[in-house]
Amino acid sequence: MTWMKHEIAAGHKNAGAIPISTPQQQRLMHRTFKAGSTRMIGTYIDEFIMFCAGLWMTCVGFGYLSFSRNQAHKLPLVRHFMWMGPLLLVITVVLTVAS
């Protein structure tokens, strides 16, 4: 490890870079790359939530579900759910297929 001390002292661009040589370090790197599958699960959960929100917006926009019990409190935004809900569904499907 003396070569690293010389690189650090000389300000070498690879200073501090430790080569992966031991089996323990290789297993650690394998576990690190394997953890990327957790991000994929998180992505699918996000897309599922987006799909459910799009489905709800579509149902509210077309009147299958009521936004509130009192229709006088219906927000002007709700009338846009007729196109926002299906658009969100299409975006979700495209993102799912792309990933």
Q: Supply the pLDDT for residue 26.
A: 61
Q: How many CA atoms lie within 13 A of 70 on its CB side?
A: 2
45-85 residue pLDDT tens: 899 999 999 999 999 989 888 877 777 667 778 888 999 99
What pLDDT sits at residue 50?
94
- What pLDDT is stored for residue 55 in this prediction? 95
Written as one string, the DSSP assignment of 65-95 is: S-S-SSGGG--GGGGGHHHHHHHHHHHHHHH
